[in-house]
Structure 1
């Protein structure tokens, strides 16, 4: 969304204002993440596999620490396992 006061003044001021506005909107609306490849990862093991594996590991740790908390932890772990299996089949 451009504002009416961006294009006021000389050309250098206009470029600076436009660039500043564009970068502000880029930071706000463009998703970004960094992904570091681990040395032991297989070539097919990409970002989605890493996220699914991390979620499965987190759910497993939570379930093993508190196995008696109703069925919430167990359900989260089962869901994470199913999601990991689905991502692996996709890869």
Structure 2
């Protein structure tokens, strides 16, 4: 089980990302707009920099829904390899069978 503080920190980041996603997209669209003047675009860059850094999507970390483990993450199942193996062996994930030969 991962540290609760790390899992809570990532949850707070998810909320900030959701809150500022629209604002960030609008500002980035303006930055890449070549019709605006150099000064205006620079002011938009400063507005983007003023937003919270934890509101950026790249700050998020994929974590296992079961254990909170950050490594060995399978996106399809939203679980780490260890959680996937345990639940797959127990037959709790439809369509997943433990391989043996």
Task: Indicate the structure (1 or 2) with the bigger Cα radius of gyration.
Answer: 1
Bigger proportion of residues as helix: 1
TM class by shorter chain equals: 0.3 to 0.5
